[in-house]
Amino acid sequence: MSILTEYTVAMLKYILLGFLDYGPMTGYELKQTIDNSTGHFWHAHHSQIYTTLRQMEKDGLVSSVFKSSEDALRRRIYTITESGKKELMEWLDTPMEEIQPLKEDFLVRMFFSGKRDPQKVLEELAIQQKLHKSTSKVYEKMQDAICHYGHPQTGNLSDQQKYWKLTLEMGIMYEKMYQEWLEKAIEVVKGK
Amino acid sequence: MSILTEYTVAMLKYILLGFLDYGPMTGYELKQTIDNSTGHFWHAHHSQIYTTLRQMEKDGLVSSVFKSSEDALRRRIYTITESGKKELMEWLDTPMEEIQPLKEDFLVRMFFSGKRDPQKVLEELAIQQKLHKSTSKVYEKMQDAICHYGHPQTGNLSDQQKYWKLTLEMGIMYEKMYQEWLEKAIEVVKGK
DNA sequence: TCACCCATGTAAGCTGTTACATGATTCC
DNA sequence: GGAATCATGTAACAGCTTACATGGGTGA
């Protein structure tokens, strides 16, 4: 905790608490879990995950034990504490009252592309099209998969699954929007 | 420059070079300019802008002089150097070949909202709706304004203005998409 | 006179990335 | 035996935010 601020909004902390609230896990498993779920709107490197977990343990939000004393891999299992659960719920119950500003490098490039050779801009737009199309495909596969998560008889999704699906839908809508914009951008650059 | 990496992708540097390439400016003016243009997809605090400009001067990318020896405000005017122009053009000519991953705090909250009181989630979604609607209005006003920038007779936009308009259109499309998603999210949360 | 904006800066700390480092297991 | 993956960690640094600090100009 900083001496300058009274609170921090350290998102990674809440992500780790959120997943550990489902059950104990190792740092490695948390990394895999993040990559396969929140990864498309919030990612982290393993180095940051391991150091944050250690800090959280110092702060009493999680506790850790080795899988077994014979485990040669020295796998450390993290468990959320009561204090950690409390902090997670308090954060969730405090509504976010501002907008997160975008940070999109590619738009910076486009903003200053008036001085570039239009042909090169078109080539770069084509690369982005390809990349965004492949991202869309990944998301659509994830969406297909989530449909098999429902209740075996009714097919109903749990509350948690409904929210997971919602965040995935944002990913899909974002990619669709981005591709529409890329097409528009190509039209504008060509029409010069 | 780090001893570990051979190159940096310091976006702020290129934004400052990009604007200074239009003409000399003070740090304060650069901050205002960023806030009124790239601000919706790339922002920076004044402290970061001033320190980055000083670093860039050390690196020979920009040079600075005081407005006048009598200027009580000690305003420092930055000018892009030949080396700075070269670096800017090299960066623009190197296509970006990956996707910038999103970082969207609000989606993290939604992802873990399965354990929350749905009523509270709905309240938070309503706050976000209000915020995103007001952002949309700001962008639409900016779009109206940009139409008056064209050539006085033909109304044509310069190359630069076309690209500026494109990035603004992404902002508008993003906000529209976000609002559609918020409506969908409200439906899903209500339907429980 | 007081509030507000203009204008520039430093310090401290948090957040995030890249590289370095090590050793075990699994599969071919 | 070698490559890929599992698994955890440290070091260094780059990037960004928040707070502190100072002083001038303008207009009510």
pLDDT given for residue A5 in this prediction: 30
* Per-residue pLDDT, A192: 64
Q: How confident is the model at residue A68 (pLDDT cuts 50, 70, 90)?
A: confident
Mean pLDDT of A33-62: 96
Which CATH number applies to A11-93: 3.10.20.30, 1.10.10.10, 3.30.450.20, 3.40.720.10?
1.10.10.10
Chain A hits for B98, Cβ within 8 Å: 131
Number of other CB atoms surrounding residue B176 within 10 Å: 14
- Please say if the pLDDT value at position A7 is more than 60: no
Unique residue bearing structure tokens 């879990």: A33
Which residue is it, tokens 């529409």? A180
Six-digit token string for B17: 């070079």
pLDDT of residue B104: 96
pLDDT for the residue B1:
31
Per the prediction, chain A carries an average pLDDT of 91
Query: In chain A, which residues have their Cβ closer than 8 Å to the Cβ of B130?
Result: none
pLDDT interval class at A9 (50, 70, 90): low
Q: Within chain B, which residues score under 70 in pLDDT?
A: 1-9, 152, 192
List the domain boundaries for chain B.
Answer: 11-93, 105-190
Q: State the greatest distance between any 2 C-alpha atoms of chain A, in Å, as a whole number.
A: 69
Tell which strand C nucleotides have any atom below 7 Å from a protein Cβ: 6-20, 23-25
- The pLDDT value recorded for residue A4 is 29
Helix locations, chain B, DSSP H: 11-20, 27-35, 46-58, 82-93, 105-111, 118-146, 159-190
Q: Residue A156: pLDDT band by 50, 70, 90 thresholds?
A: confident
List of A residues 37-76 with CB within 7 A of strand D: 46-47, 50-51, 53-54, 73-76
